[in-house]
């Protein structure tokens, strides 16, 4: 644990940091917050390890592959660290929380292991290592993270992610998140609103609220505060055009919330709500707390109230005991709901979770086959749904030059479609109307009609 040390004597000699992030959007935002803090301390961000005084990996534990990659990156730094022992090497985030001290044993050249709820103290930890030459292990679980954000540091000027809660109390049987991110803790509406207002004063037009289980927002705050209350407050923020929120859990999202968002004009018509499987047997073993029928009814209810909403999902194939019949139920769910897009993962056990106690009995080859089948099906559905958009006018928040064609511009609709169109630099950050004339499964292509 981090000890009490006098950090007032600021050291100006460590000034460059290399920072690599793995994993989910929450991790990317933690990276943004950490880099904001470090920049305020005078650090310059560099993109090469050999130019850095401090090398930090912000890690993910959701899949073994992500952890292996970090250990391999750390291993590759042994020689550099031998030549330059003054360089600080640190591991942050989920893997740091999960493996703790074991990281020092496996990689003795690592100086810092900083868990998921301690990164707001990053500058002082680096100073402690520098001044005292000691390893720092900081994995307290009950530290509440309410990071004062440097609003001027964010990758996209017009869009920002905002953490509204951390942790998860659901304990789905396959998921490591509750063990590495801890129990659910929500920020107050006042805190979140203040952050959003300062982002908007700094030019931001769209915010995406983040929470591992965002429909539980408000639990523990007292007074029955809900996500609907937060969204209603933010809907009144002047100058803000759009609000999104992820990730929704089918068992926790309420009809009340759906009714509320159907009346809030700034909340975008897009729901990321992972179904994970179409088989009730598998859902039960996953401890998801709903059935496929419940999921279908929820989507019907949502579409009744918000007809043009798009829905995205995650699926896991090859979960322990998943039969061909179970898999076909997932295929049917996908065909019936017609998701806008889906993230599809092959199951791999994570030590410490309940599912890791089950026999991982679906052969890898079958997992791969099912993964390919679902990806193909989703590609077909996405293309068919996008084709229906041809000839329609869509409103787009312009994000910048298109990655595939720098002569064109790209942005997103409220329903989260990516749109590429003719445009100009001065449209970036503005809402424009575009008529769609061509599509792929991933992108709509169109022509600008007006700027709002």
- Interface mask toward ligand SF4 for 234-253; x: CB under 6 A: ---------------x----
Task: Please say which residue, 175 or 394, places its beta carbon nearer to ligand SF4.
Answer: 175
Could you say which of 54, 88, 113, 168 contacts ligand SF4 (CB under 6 A)? 168
Site for ligand SF4 in 177-206 (CB under 6 A): 177-178
CB of 425 to ligand SF4, least distance (A): 39
Instruction: Give the closest residue to 433 by CA, choosing from 422, 381, 442, 57.
Output: 422
How many residues at the interface with ligand SF4, by CB under 6 A?
Answer: 10
End-to-end Cα, the chain, rounded Å: 53
The smaller minimum CB distance to ligand SF4, of residues 176 and 204, is found at 176
> Which part of the chain contacts ligand SF4 (CB under 6 A), choosing from 164-172, 228-236, 295-303, 327-335?
164-172
Q: H or E stretch including 440?
A: none
The CB density around residue 433, as the number of other CB atoms within 10 Å, is: 16
CB of 178 to ligand SF4, least distance (A): 5
Residue 257 CA to residue 227 CA, distance in Å, equals 7
Binding mask 354-393 for ligand SF4 (x = CB under 6 A): ----------------------------------------
Nearer to ligand SF4, 171 or 301 (CB): 171
**Nearest-approach distance from CB 211 to ligand SF4, in angstroms:** 9
Q: Does 175 bind ligand SF4 (CB under 6 A)?
A: yes
Q: Is residue 188 within 8 Å of 428, Cβ to Cβ?
A: no
Rg, C-alpha atoms of the chain? 23
Any idea what the Cα angle at residue 372 is, between residues 366 and 378, rounded to 5°?
135
Say whether residue 353 binds ligand SF4 (CB under 6 A): no
Q: Does 211 bind ligand SF4 (CB under 6 A)?
A: no
Say whether 383 sits in a helix, a strand or coil: helix
In whole angstroms, give the CA distance from residue 405 to residue 420. 9
Among 213, 378, 382, 413, contact with ligand SF4 (rule: CB under 6 A): 213
Question: Residue 151 and residue 87: Cα distance in Å, rounded?
Answer: 28
| Burial 100-131, CB ≥16 within 10 A → b, else e | beebbeebebbbbbbbbbbbbbbbbbbbbbbe
Using CB under 6 A, which residues numbered 249 to 308 contact ligand SF4?
249
Q: Does 172 bind ligand SF4 (CB under 6 A)?
A: yes
Residues within the interface to ligand SF4 (CB under 6 A): 168, 170-172, 175, 177-178, 212-213, 249
């Amino acid at each position: 644990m981090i000890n009490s040390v006098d950090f007032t004597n600021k050291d100006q000699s460590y000034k460059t940091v290399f920072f690599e992030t793995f994993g989910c959007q929450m991790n990317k935002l933690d990276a943004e917050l950490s880099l904001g803090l470090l920049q305020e301390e005078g650090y310059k961000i560099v993109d090469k390890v050999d130019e850095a005084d401090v090398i930090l990996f912000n890690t993910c534990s959701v899949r073994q592959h992500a952890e292996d990659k970090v250990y391999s990156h750390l291993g590759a730094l042994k020689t550099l660290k031998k030549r330059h022992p003054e360089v600080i090497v640190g591991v942050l985030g989920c893997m740091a929380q999960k493996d703790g001290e074991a990281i020092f044993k496996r990689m003795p050249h690592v100086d810092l292991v900083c868990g998921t709820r301690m990164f707001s103290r990053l500058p002082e930890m680096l100073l402690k290592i520098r001044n005292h030459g000691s390893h720092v292990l900081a994995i307290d679980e009950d530290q509440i993270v309410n990071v004062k954000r440097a609003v001027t540091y964010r990758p996209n000027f017009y869009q920002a992610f905002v953490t509204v809660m951390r942790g998860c109390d659901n304990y789905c049987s396959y998921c490591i998140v509750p063990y590495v991110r801890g129990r659910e803790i929500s920020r107050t509406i006042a805190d979140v609103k203040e952050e959003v207002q300062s982002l908007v004063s700094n030019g931001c037009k769209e915010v995406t609220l983040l929470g591992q289980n965002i429909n539980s927002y408000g639990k523990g705050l007292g007074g029955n505060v809900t996500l609907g209350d937060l969204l209603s407050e933010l809907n009144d923020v002047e100058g803000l055009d759009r609000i999104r929120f992820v990730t929704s859990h089918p068992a926790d999202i309420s009809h009340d919330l759906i009714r509320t968002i159907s009346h809030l004009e700034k909340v975008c018509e897009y729901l990321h709500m992972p179904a994970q499987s179409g088989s009730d047997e598998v859902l039960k073993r996953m401890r998801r707390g709903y059935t496929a029928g419940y999921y279908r009814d929820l989507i019907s209810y949502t579409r009744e109230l918000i007809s043009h909403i798009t829905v995205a999902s995650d699926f896991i194939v090859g979960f322990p005991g998943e039969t061909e019949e179970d898999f076909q139920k997932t295929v049917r769910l996908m065909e019936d709901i017609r998701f806008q897009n889906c993230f599809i993962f092959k199951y791999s056990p994570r030590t410490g979770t309940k599912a890791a106690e089950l026999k991982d009995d679906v052969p890898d080859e079958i997992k791969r086959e099912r993964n390919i089948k679902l990806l193909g099906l989703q590609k077909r559905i996405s293309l068919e749904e996008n084709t229906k958009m041809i000839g329609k006018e869509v409103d787009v928040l312009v994000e910048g030059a298109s990655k595939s064609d720098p002569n064109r511009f790209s942005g997103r609709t409220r329903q989260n479609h990516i749109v590429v169109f003719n445009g100009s630099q001065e449209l970036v950050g503005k809402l424009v109307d575009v008529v769609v004339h061509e599509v792929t499964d991933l992108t709509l292509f169109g022509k600008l009609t007006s700027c709002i």
